[in-house]
Structure 1
C-alpha cells in the first residue's frame, strides 16, 4: 500500500512563494473518519490568510502545514465505526486544513454524497463559499419579500449569497465592477457599480430602502451599509471584523455542517444553484492560484485539480 502522497504545504508563513509541492505521509483514517482521494480542492482567501500568518479559531499550525479547506473526491478507506459510506463513494466535504493533497482524512460527519449530475469542480468549490453565504442569510434573518444588498456580489461567496437569496424570494442588489454586471443580471440581481457614489446608485436602485446588507468585499462598505439600513443587526460582513465592531454590525463566520452542505449540493443537482469556476490550476501551480484569489477580482471560484483529469 502506498504510504506517501503529493501535497502542497508551507514550512513558514509568508507570500505565495512559500507554497511548495511536497511528498508527505499519507494520512490514515482514525475511528469515525474517512480517507478521501481528492479530485478537486477549492482555493479560498481564507487559505491565503492562513498562509500569511492568520490561525483559524481552534486550529493549530504545524509545519509542514498542508492548506485547503474544501474538496471533492472518492472514498478510499474507512475508519472504524463508519457505516454510512463505502469505499468508492463519490463525496464532497470540508476540513479546516489539509485539502491541498492527494488524500485527506476527515470526520465522516463532514462529508456528503456527490450526486452524479454535480461535476467534480462544482463539488470541490461548493462548501466554503456556499456554507458561508447560507450561514450569512440565516444569521441576518433574510426573509422573502425583503431587499438584500450584497457587496462583492460577483465573487465566490457573494455569488452564492445572490443565488440563495433569490431562491428564498428576496430582491437582490449587488455591487460589482461594470464588467460583472451581466453576470449578476443573468442570475436575477440588480447590478450596481461599486466605488465612489455607490450609496446614491444603490438608493436609486432601491427607492423603498434596503432591509439586509451582506458585505463580502470589505473596502469599508459597511459605512455605506449603515447609511442605508437602520437595523445594524441586519448588516453583516465576512471581511472587515474591526469595522463591524466599530459600527456594531455582525461579524459572520461560517456554521458548517453536513446538513447545510447537503442542502446546497441538492440545489446544485437540481440546477437551482450554480458554482462558477473561473480558473483551475494543478497542484504545482498553487502559488499562482493564491495570487489569483488575492487580486480580489474576477467572478466565482478558483480550484486546484488534484487529479488532473477532473
Structure 2
C-alpha cells in the first residue's frame, strides 16, 4: 500500500493542554494523514514511559514544546504505510524508534531515518521501551571512553536507563556498582552488578566495597550520588549526570545524542541474543496513560512502564 493509497485515519492519542500532574492527560481522537515521502506510518503496539516525559508534562524540563503536546518519545509498532522515498522499510515491518514528542498515539508518523527493525523473538512491549532509554545509556557510557577492567558507579541502577547502562558496561568487561533499594539488589546481582543501598551513609558503604574510587560515575538519580562521588575522590570530569543540574558540581551532563539507527540495531541485537534484559514493570492500555504515569512517578520502578495499543 503506497502512501498515496492511504487515507487519513482517526486515531486516539494522549494529549495535554496545560502543564501539571497526570490529571492533565487526555485521550483525544485526531486525524493522522498519509506519510510524507521520507516518512512511514506506524500502527502503535507499545510505547515506553520515561522520566523526561513527566518532567516535560510538569513544565520542569530543559526541553520546551508548545502546548498542546502529544506525549511520548519512544515506541514500537508495525508499519502500515510508507512514503514514496522510503526504500529500507516496507508495510508489515516491525519497527521501533524515538521522536521528540507524539509517540503516545495509535498512529505515529515518523521519518524512516530514526527507526530500526525489531528482531524476531523480541516482544514489541520490550522494543517499545528500548529506543530512548537504550541510546541514552549507550551514549552516556561511550562518553567516558571506558575499557575492560575499568569500574563505574551507576545510581538508580535498576531503572530504565540505569539497568541498560549497567548491562552494557558488564558486557564490555567493566566492573559495575549500582545503587538501588534492597528490593532490587538480587536482580542487580543477576545481571553482574554489585548492589549498594542508596541514601544516607552511601559514601561509607562505597568505601567498604572498594579501597579506591571507581573510574567513572553515571548519576541517574540526583545530587546525593554526586556529592558522595566527589568526596570519594572521583574527578569531576569523570562524573556524568542526566538527573540534575551539573553546574554547581562542575561535572558533565551527557545524555542521548541524535538518534542513530545503527545504535538501535545494536541494542535490539543484544536483546535478541539475551545479553540485554529489559524488565517490564507494568503495562497499561493507551487510554490508561494517567495510571501508567502514576505508577512511574511513585519511583522504585525496575525497568520500564509501557503503554500498549492494538493487537
Same fold (TM over 0.5): yes
Q: 1:19 aligns with which of 21, 25, 50?
A: 25
Q: How does 1:128-167 map to 2 (within 5 A)?
A: 128-167=132-171
Aligned position for 2:292 = 289
Question: CA separation of 1:85/1:174 partners in 2, compared to 1, >3 Å: closer, same or farther?
Answer: same
Residue-by-residue CA offset, 1:233-286 (whole Å, 9 max, x unaligned):
110011012xx1111111122113111111101111111101111100011210
Q: Does 1:82 align with 2:86?
A: yes
Residue equivalent to 1:45: 51
Cα displacement string for residues 29-78 of structure 1 (whole angstroms, at most 9, x for unaligned residues): 11211111110000111111111124664x63242x21100011011111
TM-score, normalised on structure 1? Answer: 0.94
Does the alignment pair 1:126 with 2:126?
no
Partner of 1:223: 227
In 2, the alpha carbon distance for the partners of 1:250 and 1:237 equals 6
Do the aligned residues in 1 keep the contact of 2:159 with 2:304 (CA within 8 Å)? yes
- Structure 1, 26-35 or 70-79: larger mean CA deviation: 26-35
1:298 Cα offset (Å): 2.1
Separation in structure 1 between the aligned mates of residue 61 and residue 19 of structure 2, nearest angstrom: 11
In the aligned structure 2, how far is the partner of 1:161 from the partner of 1:56? 22
Distance, in Å, in 2 between the alignment partners of 1:33 and 1:91 is: 13
Equivalent residue pairs, number: 304
Q: Structure 1 regions of 5+ residues with no counterpart?
A: none
**Distance across 1 between alignment mates of 2:300 and 2:284:** 17
Distance in 1 (alpha carbons) for counterparts of 2:195 and 2:59: 35
Is the CA contact (8 Å cut-off) linking 1:148 and 1:171 kept in structure 2?
A: yes
Gaps of 5+ in 2: 1-6
Is the partner of 1:259 in helix, strand or coil? helix
Assess if the C-alpha contact under 8 Å between 2:18 and 2:67 holds in 1.
no
Q: Which of 245, 248, 255 is the matching residue for 1:246?
A: 248
2:207 to 203, 207, 210: 203
Which region of structure 1 is more displaced relative to structure 2, 22-31 or 179-188? 22-31
In the other structure, the counterpart of 1:60 is 65
1:107 aligns with 111
Superposed CA RMSD: 1.4
